[in-house]
Each structure stands twice: as structure tokens, then as C-alpha cells.
Structure 1
């Protein structure tokens, strides 16, 4: 598989989960602290928040792209939402693992039609490609 890269961004982290992260363009410049559930103060941002935000936005965009390529799919309404719930915790073998639950909401659109568009979005979304077979990702139409 080859990828024709159209955009690249670099981010630099210092201090790990209790540190700082900044993108090379300065658009993201955040202090990081572990969430309270992982023993931190919860006063800053954490990598799971960033991952959840990125996946939700990218997946919604992927569904929009899918509908532009396939007229049989339900169009994504302007008020559609995707909520990505990212979980982190100890793995049974060692280290830590992630889970993702995506909640897809298209107000006023039939659930079965939304599910078809949601499935098509996974075929396009780079986050879905990256996580496939690596972490548990579930999709729920709400």
C-alpha cells in the first residue's frame, strides 16, 4: 500500500503525560496532565482527549466524503454529530490499551440509513484504518 501524502504536521511533546505538547504551526500548544482516573490532577489536557477529538472530526468528515462518492448513502445533515468516547486502562498482558466507542447522530434520518453511511465512513477514515485490528472500536447510531 502506498500513500500519496498531501499534508504533514509535526507535534513535539516534552515531559510525557505530565508535560507539554505543541504543533510546529503553533495551532496546538497545551499543557498535559493525566486525568484524575489515572492519578493525575485532571487540570490540563491529556492525549486521550486529543485522540477523541481527532477521531470524531475525521470520522464525520469521512462519512461526508463517502456520501459524495455514493448517492445511495444517506447524506450527512448539517447538524450531524459524532461523539468519540476513548477509554484507557491496563491491558491483561502488560502496558495500557485503548478502546473507542463512536456515537453517530443524524437528526431526522432513519437509523438503518445512518448505519450504512457510518459503515462507509469506516472504509475511508484514516483513524478507522489505523485502529482496525489494533483496538476495540464500536460504532453506535443514536
Structure 2
């Protein structure tokens, strides 16, 4: 599949990966990375799952707004939220995997229309495309 790239960003991790630091090339964000306590680390820093959750939640909300507008489904309310719950653990066939639940709140939107907005957002969201067939993603209207 070909992608007509319109924007790129770059980040660099140093140290031990999950235990070290990560920063954007722009210099606008640098953070301490640490393995979560649940995986045997100190938990005194951020981890890739947190960053993935932030990115997916923001991207999905933006994609849902754009798709709803393009498909003339109406306007996603200003107080809409997407909460990404990202989990990590060992896979049955070895290695590690992640699972995601997106909890979507569309206050004041009728359930049938809300589901159409969610489905449209999931179709256009680049994170949803990247995870398709690789990660279990559950979409939950709350």
C-alpha cells in the first residue's frame, strides 16, 4: 500500500529502551522511560503503552470528527471523549502483545448515530489501520 506522506516526525530512544529516555527531534518533548512495576520495573517514568494510548485516543477522536463531517453524519460534540485502555502481556505463541479498548463518549448523540460515527472514525483512523489484524481493538460506546 502506498502512502502519500504529508507529515513526518522523529523520536529517539536512548539508554535501555524501556529504561532510559525518549525525545522528539524537535526538542519539544523529552521524557524518562521506565518499565511498569507490573512488568518488573520501577514504574518511575513513562512507557511505550502510555504513549500509544495518548496517540491512539487523540488520533481516533480527530478521525471520528473528520469522518462524521465527510460522511455528513453531523457534528461530534465538543465534549466527546475517547479513552484508550492499552494492555500489554505475554502472547500464547511467545513474545509480547498488546490489546486496546477505546471507550468513546458522545454525549447527546443518539446511540445509532453514535455507532455510525465510531465506525466511520475507525475506518479512517491511521492507528486503526496500523493495528488491523495485528492487535485486538474493542470499541465501546460509553
Do the two structures share a fold, i.e. TM-score over 0.5?
Answer: yes
Q: How many residues align?
A: 141
Look up the match of 1:66: 67
Give the structure 1 partner of residue 89 of structure 2. Answer: 89
- Which residue of the partner structure matches residue 136 of structure 2? 136
List runs of 5+ in structure 2 lacking aligned partners: none
Task: Specify the SS of the correspondent of 1:84.
Answer: strand
Structure 1 distance, partners of 2:88, 2:115, is: 26
Q: Distance in 2 between matches of 1:23 and 1:44?
A: 16
CA distance in 2, matches of 1:120, 1:82: 14
Aligned to 1:3: 3
Per-residue CA shift, 1:93-131, capped at 9, x if unaligned? Answer: 111000000000011111221111000001110000000
1:6-65 C-alpha deviation (Å, 9 max, x unpaired): 100110001210111001001220010011111111111000000000000000000010
Distance 2:28 2:96 in 1: 28
In the other structure, the counterpart of 2:36 is 35
Q: Separation in 1 of the partners of 2:3 and 2:76?
A: 27
Query: What are the Cα deviations for residues 53-87 of structure 1, in whole angstroms up to 9, with x where unaligned?
Result: 0000000000010012111x242100000000000
Rounded to whole Å, the distance in 2 between the matches of 1:111 and 1:41 is 42
Q: Residue in 1 aligned with 2:48?
A: 47
Distance in 2 between residues matched to 1:74 and 1:133, nearest whole Å: 30
Q: Look up the match of 1:104.
A: 104
Q: Structure 1 unaligned runs (5+)?
A: none
RMSD across aligned positions (CA): 0.8
Moved beyond 2 Å, runs of 4+:
none
